[in-house]
Amino acid sequence: MHTASAPAKVILFGEHAVVYGQPAIAVPVSSLRATVQVTSGKGLHIVAANLGRTLPININADVVDDALALTAKLVLQTLKLPAPDLTLTLDSQIPMASGLGSGAAVSTALARALSSALGQPLDNETLNTIVYEVEKKHHGTPSGIDNTVIVYEQPVYFVRQQPIERLNIAKPFTLIVADTGKSALTRVAVGDVRKLYEANKDHIQPILDAIGSLVKDARLALEHGDIAALGPLMLQNHAYLQEASLCSTGLGARVGTAMKAGALGAKLSGGGRGGNMIALVTPETRNNVEQALLNAGAVHAFFTMVS
Ligand code: MEV
């Protein structure tokens, strides 16, 4: 039996602007994972336990709509192998449509598990290409940051179409990730920014440029262990995203709640409009901030150490 997994991710700085060529910073959340187990079966099937469905895979079909089926098809095409008699059972702890990279994580785990069950485990570079293909089919115009941080499972300073840069985090810090409970599709948020951009480039381009320059400052702060500098940068990044109308009222309120409860900084993370927000906390403030967010209606919150 083969098992493989992949982590969730959070974007620390630069979401959306990264689609337009600006840099962004993302880190894996290794405690929250999608796992795929491979057992023998008759034909190729994917059992998505969380989604309550079993999917027979026809890799010869011209159009493969389902993201998991498409992942399997691309793996087999890459390895030049026919569909095997295997059942791939997916179990994911990562909530969907909440900015945590669930789609890229399940595709990565599936491609890893299938290729290693076939005796030809794919390297990260090939995996990244496959998962990016799947992301493109399902998310419109993704920058590639989600698949990259998830496949390599390391902090990244990411610029579209540039070689991958590992980011060195000089001093670990803790984030709370809090779920607004409102799911929001990244594809829709990215499409809306595109419309805004096309309609009013003069307004949106300076916001994207300002986000890019802030991400460079954040990189220096992270590399120098200057945690105190991160909070104001998170707030500034959030304000820019708000200006690009990416913030639901719920998300904005949660950021305010976290700050009042003692967070050093907070912002939306990922596509926005709902999903998760992140807050930078210290050992002294973490419980206070968590409680305040839950009292304010966050449906779920967890801590992650970034290192
Ligand atoms: C989604 O996690 C990040 C976005 O910037 C989209 C992308 O980069 O593909 C919103």
What is the set of domains in the chain, with CATH numbers?
2-165 (3.30.230.10), 168-306 (3.30.70.890)
Distance CA 242, CA 239 (A): 5
202 catalytic residue (yes or no) = no
Q: 152-200 pLDDT, tens per residue?
A: 999 999 999 999 999 999 999 999 999 988 888 888 889 989 999 999 9
Residues 6+ apart with CB under 8 A from 169: 27, 155, 222, 223, 306, 307
Atom of ligand 1 minimally distant from the CA of 139: 9
Give the residues across from 178 on adjacent strands: 277, 301
Task: Give the span between the Cα atoms of 159 and 145, in whole angstroms.
Answer: 8
Distance of CA 291 to the CA centre of its chain: 25
For ligand 1, residues with CB inside 6 Å are 11, 15-16, 18-19, 99, 142-143, 145-146, 186, 190, 270-271
Structure tokens at 230: 């991160």
Q: What is the pLDDT of residues 248-282, one digit of tens each?
A: 777 888 999 999 999 999 999 998 888 899 999 99
pTM of the model: 0.96
